[in-house]
Amino acid sequence: MQRSTVFALVLYVLSLAATTSVCAAWSPSDGAKGQAVFRIRGALVPHDLAGTVGPGWLVGGAAGVGISRWVMLTANFDHVALRDRNARSVEPWTLQLEMGAPFQRHVMPRFEVGAGLYRRTEKPWIFPTSSNPRDETLFGFNYGLGLSAPIATRVMADLNLRYHQTLDRDVGGTRSHSLKLSYVAFGLTYGLR
């Protein structure tokens, strides 16, 4: 079976499980408050979007909880593979605040801001041997805008535009170069309450 077929089947099963949850104690007017969520996403990393590296692709997800009707706190992990001369991959591990009103009966915008650790691996194409891959962890931040549209009682389709930037030193204090990354992501958010 191809990976895309397996991925589609997993999404289908998750959407069925999320829509058959007990919903008696929850209504969409509650917004995010007390709602546990699980998000999966995929993204395209366009070349030179807002002056950032690319092209490439991304796959990732998040788990979080609503801390008020309008605010969610999520822990995010993504894997970004870039097709450039350094064969870079980036793995952001971030905490993020999302402001919006999820799980409403109509399309809702949201604003996201977060920070965390970014693991960057580079394998230069000039003399690509095992001795010269570069692996470092940088501190960085991100922000973005998104739209969420309900597709079932506790399932939302998401569209995001996000910008990431790291500092120019790794967590050990060694001088490095900053990474700027922008992408357009598509995904699904499941309410797990």
pLDDT in tens, 116-156: 999 988 876 666 555 567 789 999 999 999 999 999 878 99
The burial class, CB within 10 Å (0-12 / 13-18 / 19+), for 89 is middle
What is the pTM for the complete model shown?
Answer: 0.77
* Segments of 83-152 assigned E as strands: 89-100, 108-122, 134-152
In 3D space, the residue among 99, 95, 137 whose CA is nearest the CA of residue 118 turns out to be 137
CATH number, span 3-191: 2.40.160.20
**Distance between CA atoms of residues 45 and 26, nearest Å:** 37
Window from 107-116, 160-169, 172-181 with minimum mean pLDDT: 172-181
Local confidence band at 1 (pLDDT 50, 70, 90 cut-offs): low
Where along the chain do its domains lie? Answer: 3-191
105 in helix, strand or coil?
coil
User: Which residue type does 159 have?
Assistant: L
What whole-number percentage of the chain has pLDDT above 90?
Answer: 41
